[in-house]
Amino acid sequence: MVMFLFLVVALAVVVAAVTLAVVGGGEGDGPLPEAAPERLQDPLPPDRPVNRADIDSLRFPLAARGYRMSDVDDALSRLAAELAERDARIADLESALAGAQTPAGGHGAGHVSMDKPTREDQQ
């Protein structure tokens, strides 16, 4: 019984010493310094459109409960805006291409047919 009490007291002393050392009661400059929050080291480039390599190299720093929501939200907003801009540009180019491929007057003067010649054309 005496040995059991000795072990309990020794354990309590060790736990108290470790706790005091961690929270600043031990030797040193005082309590542990506040850790600076991690921030996104290489954000998406602000001076040019985002490319595939930018997305592949994008790594979000971990926070206490996963990723920093503000960093992820900023990156997703930027990507959404650029994708919407590219989609609008593609739609404009496709409509311009469709307008350029459709001749205004059908088979007018100067239009060369790219169809295979028929038997009547060859005679």
Q: Going residue by residue through the chain (123 aa), what tens digit of pLDDT does each one get?
A: 889 999 999 999 999 988 877 776 545 555 556 666 667 676 778 888 888 888 888 877 777 777 888 888 888 888 888 889 999 999 999 999 998 887 765 554 455 555 555 555 544
Structural contact between residues 50 and 76, judged by C-beta atoms closer than 8 angstroms? no
Question: Quick check: is 60 in a domain?
Answer: no
Inside any domain, residue 73: yes
pLDDT, residue 7, reads 93
Domain assignment of residue 91, yes or no: yes
Residue 36 lies in a domain: no
Q: What is the pLDDT of residue 70?
A: 84
pLDDT at residue number 94: 94
Residue 41 domain-assigned (yes or no): no
Per-residue model confidence (pLDDT) at position 35: 62
Looking at the structure of the chain, the number of domains it has is: 1
Q: Is residue 93 part of a domain?
A: yes
pTM (predicted TM-score): 0.44
Q: How far apart are the C-alpha atoms of 103 and 96, rounded to whole Å? A: 12
**Does some domain include residue 114?**
no
Give me the pLDDT at residue 90, please.
93
Host domain of residue 84: 68-100
In a domain, 75, yes or no: yes
DSSP code, position 109? T
Residues 30, 28: Cα–Cα separation, whole Å: 6
* CA separation for the pair 24, 33 (Å, rounded): 10
